[in-house]
Amino acid sequence: MDAIGVVISKNEDGKFDVYRVIIADDEVLSLEQVKGGEGRAKRYAIRVAQQDFVAISQMFTRDQVEFGE
């Protein structure tokens, strides 16, 4: 894996969805919707994204994330 992060995208209803993205070798390997991150107002989508960033940082602490060379 080269990068892991969170993406906020506007959906067709004008609300926002939150996704976790994993990128390796310049390709998107995974794009998963974050639980509770579907059809949110912008303010709440940002809050969900912040919480997912905390979850990602905890994954680093527990050595659950491996980066490739």
Interval 6-19 mean pLDDT: 96
Mean per-residue pLDDT, 38-49: 96
| 20 is a domain residue | yes
User: Would you state the pLDDT for residue 60?
Assistant: 80
Is residue 37, in this structure, part of any structural domain at all? yes
Instruction: Please indicate, yes or no, if residue 55 is contained in any of the structural domains.
Output: yes
Rounded Cα gap, residues 22 and 4, in angstroms? 5
pLDDT over 90 at 13, yes or no: yes
Asked, for residue 45, whether it belongs to a domain, the answer is yes
Q: How many domains does the chain have?
A: 1
* 10: β partners: 16
Q: Is residue 68 part of a domain?
A: no
Q: Is residue 51 situated within a structural domain?
A: yes
Confidence label for 14 from pLDDT (cuts 50, 70 and 90): very high
Yes or no: say if 52 and 46 are a contact pair by the CB < 8 Å rule: no
Q: What is the residue-averaged pLDDT of the chain?
A: 89
pLDDT > 70 fraction of the chain, expressed in percent and rounded: 90
- Domain interval for residue 39: 3-61
Query: Does residue 57 belong to any structural domain of this protein?
Result: yes
